[in-house]
Each structure stands twice: as C-alpha cells, then as structure tokens.
A and B are shown apart, each in its own frame.
Chain A
Amino acid sequence: MSRETVTPSVAWLGRGECHDCALLGGKASNLCHLAAEHRVPPGFCLTADAYDHALTTGLAADEGSAPTPLPPELFEELVRAYRELGDRCGLDAPSVAVRSSALDEDGAGASFAGQHETYLNIVGVAAVAEAVAHCWASVRSLRALEYRRRQGLPLDGVRIAVLVQQLIPADVSSVVFSANPVTGSRDEVVINASWGLGESIVGGTVTPDTYVVRKADMAVASRQIAEKRQMTVSVPGGTREVDVPRFLRSQPTLRDDQAVEMARLGVTLEGRMGHPVDMECAHHGGRLYLLQCRPITTLAGCW
C-alpha cells in the first residue's frame, strides 16, 4: 500500500487506502478489511498521523492532561468527513460511535478491552470533535498508563487512531462465536443475542438468548430463549441501560434464518482468518450489520 494515496488525517472504512495497521490500529484496520466485503456501518478514521499532527500543534501529551480542542485544520477535515458520512447515511447529523483504536490494541499481546474510551450516540460535528479529543486524552489517562505499566508496555510514543462510525440503532445485537466457546467444538456456531445495543451483552448485564447452529447442515440445533431484562438504548447525548418491556422479555430475538445468516458469515470469516472468530453484529430494519470481528485465539499482528 502506497502511503501517497492516503489522506494523512482521514481514512474511510472499506477503501483500500485504510488497511494500514500502523496508521489505524488493529481494531479499525480489521473493520476496514471487513467493510470492503460485508455490510459494516459506514465510518472513517482519524488516523495516527492526525494524532501526531495534533501533538505537533500543541496537543497536551502529559500524563492525565485534560482534552484539548482539535487544531483548526483537523477540525475542518472532521467537518468534511462528518458531512460525507451524513450523505452516506442519508442523514444531516448521523448518530455515531466514536472509539479509540490504539496502535498496539486488538491483536497485540494485550487486550485493551475497556482501556480506551468509547462514546456512543454522538450527534453533530461539535460533539464528535469533543469525543475525539477525549479519545486522544484517554491514551494518556492515568488508568490507561497504569494498565500499560502493569502489562509491561512502553509508556512513550503511544499512538492512537479514532474511529467515527455510524451507530446502528440495533433492534437486536448479537455476539457470534464460530466455535463453541464453552465446549471448544468447532462443528457449531454459537450466537448470543439480546435486545438493543450490544453493550448489555458485552457488559454481561443481560442473559441473552443462545442459538446454536450446526455447521454441517447450517441448521439451528438449539435455541434457548432467555428472560431478557435489560437493554441498552440510545438516548439524547448517549446511551442508557433500561428495563426491557414485559411483553418483549421472553420473545425470541432472532428468527432461525437470521441466526443461520450470521452463522454463515461467521464461517466465512473464520475461513478468511484461519481461526475461529467472534463477531459483534447488529440487526436493524431487517438488515444485518457486522460491527466487529476478532480471532477467538489471540494471534499476533494484523491479518
């Protein structure tokens, strides 16, 4: 990949230019590959170069320092990119998720789960800029640095990219394992699904439905419909975990064909990665979106 073709500050998911792991971090560059072939919510990255550029123009890089506003030229680029994202979503001010993607995160030796910030349901360019500034500051947060110390990671020269991606207001969120994470069986795909955004599943605050799909004939082998009491929904300015209305608690989140569709996707990505994978998916308006995909077995480097 030639660096000349890359916009230094902004890289779009699904375009060839953005596969550079050194520029985007593992999380974003993985998504970039996926976005080229699968339905990934549209989004862009403020690259590590943008972060570096901000550092050179006075971004505070001291330990625990407060977020600093974006330099004007980066802000202008962000305005343009957010507007283009709006065009792609068919919305004036799309709701986005803003996540940090550290360059040694996801795929490096240590999982940075939860160590960098994620901002959900951010609307409007000013709020996005603020969230980006917070993501940058999070690299230097006391908590993040302490984590790095404990993991024996270098404390200096940490670089970060920030992913700005349309937030799909999920009707159902799922975590898909292309191998059974409990039994280790590679003959089946296991799907956990629950109402609303994925945070309630990932955070473990809800007992999700569990679907098991047999790889041999791609049939649903079992479904356990749970009493799903909590869900995460978008509310103005962010998200909130709320009670699932009673009528919906014991209703199945997925039809069999939806479970099978996700299982097929899991098998495809497993084949591509050469490893069993876990994926995060969202269903909205009858469509399946791929939000994230990682190898279940920790592997070094980008793929």
Chain B
Amino acid sequence: MSNTEVVQVAGPVRIPAPPEFPVVWDSPDDEQLSWLHDRMHNPDPVLPLESAFWGRVYEAFSRATEAYEMPVRLKTRYINTYFYMAIKSVVPPEQVEAQNKRAEEKMDVVMARLGDAWTAEWLPEIRSHLAWWDAFDLAGAAMPDLLRHLEDTMDRVSRLWELHFRIVLPSYMAMSQFDDLYRDLFGGDGAFGSYRLLQGFDNKTLEADRALWDLSRRALASAAVRRILEHSPATAVLSDFGKSAAGRVFRDELRTYLEQYGLRGEKWGLSYPCWIEDPAAAITNLKGYITRSGPDPRTEQAKLAAERDHAVTGVRGRLQGYPQPVIERFEFLLKAAQAGVVLSEDHGYWIDFGSTYRVRRVVLEIGRRFFEAGAIDRPTDVFHLTLDELLGSAAVRSLGDRRSLVELRRREVERFRAVSAPPALGTDNGPPPDDPMNRFFGKFFGGPPQALEEPDVLKGNAGSPGKVRGPAKVVRSLSEAGKLQKGDVLVAETTAPPWTPLFATAAAIVTDTGGVLSHCAVVAREYRVPAVVGTGRATTTIRDGQILEVDGDAGLVRIDPA
C-alpha cells in the first residue's frame, strides 16, 4: 500500500483501503477485526464457484477449533474477488487463558496418538470419501442426479476439510510446541535447531517427487525418449512419444505416474487444471531432470535421517540431568512432531489435492453440460457461476444463456487480478497475545514482513539453512518453470506441493509468503536447499537474471550483492 505510513501507536489502528480496492463493511464489528489475505494458499482472485468451496473450507476450520475447544473461530469475507480471514475470539479476554489451557489438554490427547489416528481413523475415512466420488458415473448421470451429486459433494467437502483441520492443527501445534520447548531449553541454537530433529522422514510430497525422478532415470535409459525430452517442446512431447515403441512404453509409465501423483494443480483451489489434465508441468520437470546427474533422492533422505537420529541422541544426552517432567514433555512432543511433520504433507496429498481434484471433476462435468447446452462458451466458464446458480438449475434449460453474466464476472476478476490485494484490511489490533496457538500461526504464516533500511536487501523468514548466490528466476506459475536452470534461485509468491520438484533444480528458494513451518520451508529443508520465505515483495522487487545472495539462516536476500 503506497498511501499508508507505518506509525507505531498503542491500541487499534484502522487500516485504510486503497482507492482501487474499495471495501464496504457489513457491520462496524466487522471493521474492527483484523482481516488478512491468505496469500500463501490463496494468492489469486477466487472465482465465484470457488468462493463456495473456500467458504466450506474456512467454515470447517472453525468446526475444528470448536472440537478442540480452542477459544477462536475463523471469519471470512469475500472482498473484491479475494478471500480475507479474521481470527475472532469467542470467549471474554479474562477467560482466554483458561480456555487455552483446556484446548491444550484436549489437543495433547490427539497429539499423543497422531500416527495411530491417521492410520486407524482419518485416512480410512478420507479414502472412503474418495471412493464415493470414484464410484459415481459422472458422464452417465442425468442432470438432476448430477446436481444432487454436487450438493452431496459440497457436504463431503465440509466434512473432509473439518478432518483436514482436525489433522493439521495438532500436527502443526506439535511441531511448533516442540520448537518452543527446544528454544526454551537450548536458546539460540540457530533458526533450525529443533527442525533438524524432525527431518528425513518420508512423505507423500517427497514420494511424488521421487517417482518423477525415477521416471527421469528411465527416460535416460532410452535414447529415443531422451531425445524427445531434450528437443521437443513440452506441448509436443506426448504426441512425439507416440511415434516410437519406446516412446509409447514411456508414455504409459508417465500416465501411471500422473494417475497416482498428478491429481494436483499448481495451487490450492478448484480452478487450476491438474497435471493429469495437462501434464505440461510434469513434462517440464522431466526435461529439467534429464539434464541432471545428481544423487538419488533416497541417498539424500537417508543422510538426513542419519543426521536426525544423531541429533536426537545428542539432545537426549544433554537432557539427562534435567527434571523428569522436562524429559517427558520433550519425548512427547518429539514423537508428536515427528508424526506431525509427515502429516503436514500427507494430508495435502489426500485432501487438499486428492479430494479437490474430484470436486473439480464434478464441476467440470456440469460445465460440460452447460457448454453443450450453449449456456456458456467453454466448460471452465462454469467457475464464473455461483453454487446457487448451479444448484438452482434443476434442468439445463432453466439456466438460459449465461454468457454475458460470465463475461461480466470475468472482467471483474481481471480488474482485481491487476490490483494487488492489500495484505490486511479492517483494523490493526497489534500483535496477538504470545501463546502457543499464536506462535504456531506466526511460524506458519510468517508474520508481517519487515522493512529494512537497505533497498536492495529483503528481510524474510529463515526457511531452510545455507547461503548461496545465483541468478534469479521469478516463476509466477508452473507454466514458466521451464526457465529455471540448475543453479538459479527460484523466486515465487508461494509454492504449493506441485512446485517442489523444482527444488531439486533450484540453488535456493525465495518466496513472498510463509514462515519456517510453511510447506515451502519444510520441504526445502528436506531438499537441503537454502530458503528465505515470507519476504512479502520478492516477486515484485526482483527481476529475472539479478544475482541474489540468499542467506537461509538469517532470512535475508541481497539483490546484486557487491
């Protein structure tokens, strides 16, 4: 925001909305809340149909906090095509501490059995929902059945995302509390002391990346396949594979890979095509990987695991003379955090991407019907309609011609896509109280970016250790990923799981969003690639080719250092 000055004032400060981003509040109460744009998960304008989806997602967060007796709920507002969220306390200030204590006790019970709960309860239920979608004959369903299926789908979205937050809250709280305890015990042991004890575990994200790596090794084994990946443009690769026997075999292997790991678009949400629909991102990664002879990811993972076990042994030794309650809490949180760090990725494979892909298929099938009935110009225009508009159309005919409506809404989205959404709206109520939950939020979202005196230095959060120099490549979407060469610094607004294969190519990662517990930082540490996350303005400040010095321990990025 150019027209605001940061002034340190005690007490709440109203945040003026920029003129190009007018805001009308429903109530004065709303304006008094601190509304934040979740740029890490939701950086782009949200299309009308997606807004119903995100509405269910955010409602589910509050059901999970209620289940854990946490004294907060999440409120959301869909403002100028962007989602804003505010944390609202539901108990009077004098009761917050007692309520937090109840919540911690409740969450301890779940943290004690994270791994078991995942295997015995959560994953089986998630799989049963996915199986329900897979059993439905989308193409063969009559329109009324399809619309009823959409209604049921949205109910399952609600349930799955309640599960999602019931899983991630204790998973991340375990990691954050483990880090809190580690810092209490050992103080300034670098930014990553505690996280070294959580590294080297396998998860679905790494598994998917490894499968892609393995595919690249098989590509190298066939001269024909290798030649195509080296020379054909990404868009022509699939058809070129069809021209030879070896190419066809490899194409089948790629398809098998996509069926298992390609149910994901480039970001969170409904409107991004998944790799299985458009494998360009996977092919771009393969094209990058075949130029590389790096070590097998399994070797690296084994090293990380060995380092972790060594670090755990060392810390246990240091704690030998400590009171038993300290040792017990350390062991409790270590176990929970080690389970949590795996679930912090695995839940996303199944819910954020696995289930969302299935929701997307339902919507696209309805879009196809509308398109065939001439109501819209292309199936994906269905995302510009609202859920109520879809459900209200018991028959295709009653929908009528929605093309001008779609066009109007498309223009609205484009208008606000050109505007950068203000990071905060409403009222700045100052830093939240220092409690375990807020410390977790801070480590996950990264807190507000800090301005520095030096214009050529970006201050972000320490994401992954190490210091390197390299030329910047600003990648705004995976379609631009091809320009990232070995040794480049990947600069991105945010990195959802489908971006992580690029971590094997990048020399370092710099993002606008996130904290030390963000997905990007957690996975960067597994790739042992330095990362500075949550700079707030890397993608708008840095240009391609500028030399960056990335200091992952200090959370600093120097542009064109001397």
Which residues of A come within 8 Å of B, CB atoms? 95, 121, 169-172, 195-196, 231, 233-235, 239, 242-248, 251, 284-285
Contacts and interface: CB of A to CB of B under 8 A. Distances in A.
A57 to B, nearest CB: 36
Contacts of A242: 185
B324 interface: yes
Contact of A234 (B181, B320, B326): B320
Contact of A245 (B185, B320, B324): B185
B323 A170 contact: yes
B326 A245 contact: yes
Given A245-B329, A247-B329, A248-B329, A172 B184 contact: no
A230 to B, nearest CB: 12
B320 A251 contact: no
B325 A235 contact: no
Contacts of B329: 245, 247-248
Contacts of A95: 321
A255 B322 CA distance: 19
Contact of B324 (A239, A244, A247, A284): A284
Nearest to A240: B321
B544 interface: no
Contacts of A235: 318, 321
A169 B181 contact: no
Given A245-B184, A246-B180, A246-B184, A169 B321 contact: yes
10 contacts: A95-B321, A169-B320, A195-B325, A234-B321, A243-B184, A245-B181, A247-B184, A248-B329, A284-B324, A285-B324
A234 B326 CA distance: 13
Interface string B168-203: 000000000100110011010000000000000000
B184 A231 contact: no
A292 to B, nearest CB: 20
Nearest to A243: B184
Given A245-B181, A245-B184, A246-B184, A231 B324 contact: no
Contacts of A284: 324
Contacts of A170: 323
Mostly, the A contact residues are strand
A121 B321 contact: yes
Interface of B: 177, 180-181, 184-185, 187, 318, 320-326, 329
B274 to A, nearest CB: 43
B321 A231 contact: no
Contacts of B180: 246-247
Given A170-B323, A245-B181, 8 more contacts: A169-B321, A171-B323, A171-B324, A195-B326, A233-B322, A235-B321, A251-B325, A285-B324
B141 to A, nearest CB: 54
A195 B323 contact: yes
Contacts of A195: 323, 325-326
Max chain B C-beta neighbours (<10 A), residue from A234, A242, A243, A247: A247
Contacts of B326: 195, 245, 248
A177 B326 CA distance: 27
A94 to B, nearest CB: 13
A121 B184 CA distance: 23
A108 B185 CA distance: 42
Contacts of A171: 323-325
Max chain B C-beta neighbours (<10 A), residue from A234, A243, A246: A246
Max chain B C-beta neighbours (<10 A), residue from A121, A195, A251: A195
Nearest to A235: B321
Nearest to A195: B323
Contacts of A251: 325
Nearest to A167: B321
A41 to B, nearest CB: 15
Top 5 closest pairs, chain A to chain B, by CB: A234-B321, A245-B184, A171-B323, A171-B324, A233-B321
A196 B181 contact: no
Given A245-B184, A245-B185, A231 B320 contact: no
B181 to A, nearest CB: 5
Contacts of B185: 242, 245
A251 B328 CA distance: 14
A196 B184 contact: no
A244 B181 CA distance: 10
Nearest to A284: B324
Contact of A248 (B318, B320, B321, B325): B325
Contacts of A247: 177, 180-181, 184, 329
Contacts of B177: 247
A45 B467 CA distance: 57
A169 B325 CA distance: 12
Contacts of B187: 243
B323 A233 contact: yes
Max chain B C-beta neighbours (<10 A), residue from A95, A196, A233, A243: A233
A245 to B, nearest CB: 4
A167 to B, nearest CB: 9
Nearest to A246: B184
A222 B318 CA distance: 36
A101 to B, nearest CB: 24
A285 B187 CA distance: 27
B342 to A, nearest CB: 24
Max chain A C-beta neighbours (<10 A), residue from B177, B187, B322: B322
A89 to B, nearest CB: 15
A239 B321 CA distance: 9
A134 to B, nearest CB: 21
B324 A196 contact: no
B323 A231 contact: yes
A300 B85 CA distance: 74
Contacts of B320: 169, 234
A284 B323 CA distance: 8
Contacts of B318: 235
A291 B252 CA distance: 75
A244 B329 CA distance: 13
